[in-house]
RNA sequence: GUCCCCAUCGUCUAGAGGCCUAGGACACCAGCCUUUCACGUUGGUAACACGGGUUCGAAUCCCGUUGGGGACGCCA
């Protein structure tokens, strides 16, 4: 049987980092076993689902490279089928009509809470004759759950977990308005979609037992379950916005690369010996459920950033140039084709020094922009003295007929420092300040080369006066 | 409250009874490299929650305690 997994978000908001990891694990598991990875949008409404959220989720998944192998299934379009199964259960005597109102149930729960009992449905209509129902009242359909024994789930991550039937009450599978409840819809959809492995957050572990009751009642084969631990914030509490970025799109905005985010997420809750840097292609070969841990993990932005810097260095220069130019334009930096070309030339050096695309853009700004850069305070101090200005003026003279190749520029600069009897740094730093407006930049010979003779001379003379 | 799950450095993890004086990675500290900044490199600080068992031997198995987390809707 070929493996089929699915990621089933509800479109009530953006895709967060925890959902992204669930999607990733589902996709990797399917790949690893040569199966398919599907997407089901759980928009069984409640007025909270929005088309905008669906759009965002799809965008986020696409960005992460986690688009499904088949078109997404929308749960809302399957209501008829959900009702059909509920009525089949009714016909089979595995479910019954329940006539109490939500208000009555609410009162029942409050009474239970007051008396310190678990809030469970008392089964009033389980054996009662529907003829006794109050007139004009629409019934909900409840599953007739087993009263004895226990339900056992052999979870692929959590191991064997069992719950006594006495802990579970008769859940509603079809509301009085004819719409399915979540627990029911999930089972019907997973069955119809041929899902073989349900990989999801372990907040669904307890739901699993009720879902199994539906599979069993219908005589359907249960899928394998794998409940993966949740991701918490750095402080151990539930991950929320106050911890920083949680939406996948926020990570994109902040300059993280999708492959770095995926690698980070992969290592959160899953390990394979000492391997840390695991590109997608390798992950698809080695990922499996037995490597998934059982305890919740915490979001560590520093480690994500570190991984990002690694992937940044490995990334294609053209791609990075495109990204950086886009971000610079967004920041309002003015540049033309020459500026863009300078950024492109410098990219191999720039990407070694940045941890995010945002940093990269910041470091590239001086090269992109037209004319002399804004000099920051540290850099200004380096070029403020008469000696520094004289040095720069002299350098400009020297460079006016230097050969314009990187290696040559470096040796000429070294020779120049030699002749002047100073260390290279004494020449490079003021030059760097004039050229980049900063005390930090890629190697000075690379900067000179990328800027080109004319632009370099202009910038030096603008400072030398 | 009831039920379920979890527990190795600050964080992510390796560890399937002897290979553990507990390994790697991030972060942090110090040194080296160096034209700045990064990168790289060398070294360092730092953990088996606690208490009982089982065993010749336990981070690894069992029980309990404590501490986290999750689920208990005509939400998903």
DSSP per position, A125-158: TTSS-GGGSPTTPPPEEEE---SSSEEEEEETTT
Residue A109 reports pLDDT greater than 90? no
- Strand B close to A205 by CB, under 7 A: yes
pTM as predicted: 0.94
Chain B positions with any atom < 7 A from a protein CB: 1-8, 10-16, 23-27, 35-39, 68-76
C-alpha A212 chain-centroid distance: 30
Catalytic residue selected from A138, A144, A238, A241: A241
Active site residue A423: no
CA of A427: nucleotide with nearest C1': B35
Q: What is the DSSP letter of A374?
A: P
pLDDT of residue A97: 94
Residue A17 reports pLDDT greater than 80? yes
pLDDT of residue A13: 87
CA of A425: nucleotide with nearest C1': B35
CA of A203: nucleotide with nearest C1': B70
- Strand B close to A351 by CB, under 7 A: no
Q: Which residue is nearest to nucleotide B7 (CA to C1')?
A: A295
pLDDT in tens, A157-181: 999 999 999 889 999 999 999 999 9
Phi, psi of A164 (to 5 degrees): -70, 140
- Strand B close to A277 by CB, under 7 A: no
Tell me whether residue A62 is exposed, middle or buried, using C-beta atoms within 10 angstroms of its C-beta: 0 to 12, 13 to 18, 19 or more.
Answer: exposed
- Strand B close to A46 by CB, under 7 A: yes
CA of A41: nucleotide with nearest C1': B76
Q: Which residue is nearest to nucleotide B1 (CA to C1')?
A: A116
Please give residues of chain A from 406 to 465 whose alpha-adjacent beta carbon (CB) lies under 7 Å from any atom of strand B.
Answer: 410, 423-425, 428-429, 432, 439-445
Q: How far apart are CA A152 and CA A208, in angstroms?
A: 10
H-type helices in A351-402, by residue range? Answer: 357-368, 377-383, 386-399
Looking only at the bridges linking them, the beta strands covering A140-143 and A172-174 are antiparallel
What share of chain A in percent tops pLDDT 70?
A: 99
- Between CA A294 and C1' B7 the distance (Å) reads 10
Q: How far apart are CA A43 and CA A53, in angstroms?
A: 10
Helix (H) or strand (E) holding A74: strand A73-74
H-type helices in A271-376, by residue range? Answer: 280-286, 301-314, 317-331, 337-350, 357-368
- Between CA A255 and C1' B41 the distance (Å) reads 28
Q: Are A283 and A216 in contact (CB under 8 A)?
A: no
Residue A68 reports pLDDT greater than 70? yes
Residue A200, strand partner residues? A227
pLDDT mean over A118-147: 82
Residue A96, strand partner residues? A142
Q: Mean pLDDT lowest for which of A94-108, A120-134, A209-223, A432-446?
A: A120-134
Give the contacts of A100 (CB within 8 A, at least 6 positions apart): A108, A124, A125
Going by pLDDT thresholds of 50, 70 and 90, the confidence category of residue A145 is very high
Long-range CB pairs of A84-93 (<8 Å, 24+ gap) are A85/A184, A85/A188, A85/A218, A86/A141, A86/A173, A86/A174, A86/A180, A86/A184, A87/A141, A87/A174, A88/A218, A89/A141, A89/A143, A89/A173, A89/A214, A89/A217, A89/A218, A90/A141, A92/A217, A93/A144
Going by pLDDT thresholds of 50, 70 and 90, the confidence category of residue A199 is very high
pLDDT mean over A244-265: 94
Q: Which of A351, A440, A446 is nearest to A408 (CA)?
A: A446
Residue A267 reports pLDDT greater than 70? yes
Helix (H) or strand (E) holding A37: strand A36-41
Going by pLDDT thresholds of 50, 70 and 90, the confidence category of residue A46 is low
CA-to-CA separations, A369 to A249, A350, A374, in angstroms, rounded: 28, 15, 10
Residues in chain A: 465
């Amino acid at each position: 049987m070929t493996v089929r997994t699915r990621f089933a978000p509800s479109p009530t908001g953006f895709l967060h980092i925890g959902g992204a990891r669930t999607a990733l694990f589902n996709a990797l598991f399917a790949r690893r076993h040569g199966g398919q990875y599907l997407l089901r949008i759980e928009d069984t409404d409640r007025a909270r689902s929005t088309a905008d959220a669906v759009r965002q989720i799809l965008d986020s998944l696409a960005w992460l490279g986690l688009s499904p192998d088949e078109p997404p299934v929308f749960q809302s379009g399957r209501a008829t089928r959900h009702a059909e199964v509920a009525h089949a259960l009714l016909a089979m005597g595995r479910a019954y009509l329940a006539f109490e109102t939500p208000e009555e149930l609410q009162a029942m729960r409050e009474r239970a809470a007051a008396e310190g009992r678990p809030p469970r449905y008392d089964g009033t209509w389980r054996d009662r004759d529907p003829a006794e129902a109050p007139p004009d009242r629409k019934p909900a359909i409840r599953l007739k759950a087993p009263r004895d024994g226990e339900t056992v789930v052999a979870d692929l991550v959590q191991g064997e977990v069992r719950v006594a039937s006495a802990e579970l009450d008769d859940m509603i599978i079809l509301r009085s308005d004819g719409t399915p409840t979540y627990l029911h819809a999930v089972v019907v959809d997973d069955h119809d979609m041929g899902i073989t492995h349900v990989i999801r957050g372990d907040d669904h572990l307890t739901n699993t037992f009720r879902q199994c009751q539906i599979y069993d009642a219908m005589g359907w084969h249960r899928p394998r379950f794998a409940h993966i631990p949740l991701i918490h914030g750095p402080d151990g509490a539930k991950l929320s916005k106050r911890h920083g970025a949680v939406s996948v799109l926020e990570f994109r905005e902040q300059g993280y690369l999708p492959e770095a985010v995926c690698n980070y997420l992969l290592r959160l809750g899953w390990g394979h010996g000492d391997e840390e840097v695991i590109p997608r292609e390798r992950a698809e070969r080695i990922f499996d459920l037995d490597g998934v841990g059982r305890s919740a993990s915490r979001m560590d932005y520093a480690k994500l950033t570190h991984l990002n810097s690694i992937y940044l260095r490995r990334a294609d220069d053209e791609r990075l140039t495109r990204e950086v130019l886009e971000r610079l334009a967004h920041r309002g930096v003015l540049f033309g084709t020459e500026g863009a070309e300078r950024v492109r030339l410098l990219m191999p050096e720039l990407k070694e020094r940045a941890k995010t695309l945002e940093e990269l853009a910041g470091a590239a700004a001086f090269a992109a922009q037209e004319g002399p850069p804004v000099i920051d305070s540290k850099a200004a101090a380096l070029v403020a003295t008469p000696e520094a200005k004289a040095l720069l003026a002299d350098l400009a003279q020297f460079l006016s007929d230097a050969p314009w190749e990187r290696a040559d520029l470096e040796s000429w600069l070294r020779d120049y420092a030699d002749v002047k009897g100073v260390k290279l740094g004494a020449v490079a730093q003021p030059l760097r300040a004039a050229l980049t407006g900063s005390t930090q930049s890629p190697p000075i010979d690379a900067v000179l080369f990328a800027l080109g003779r004319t632009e370099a001379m202009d910038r030096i003379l603008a400072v030398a006066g």
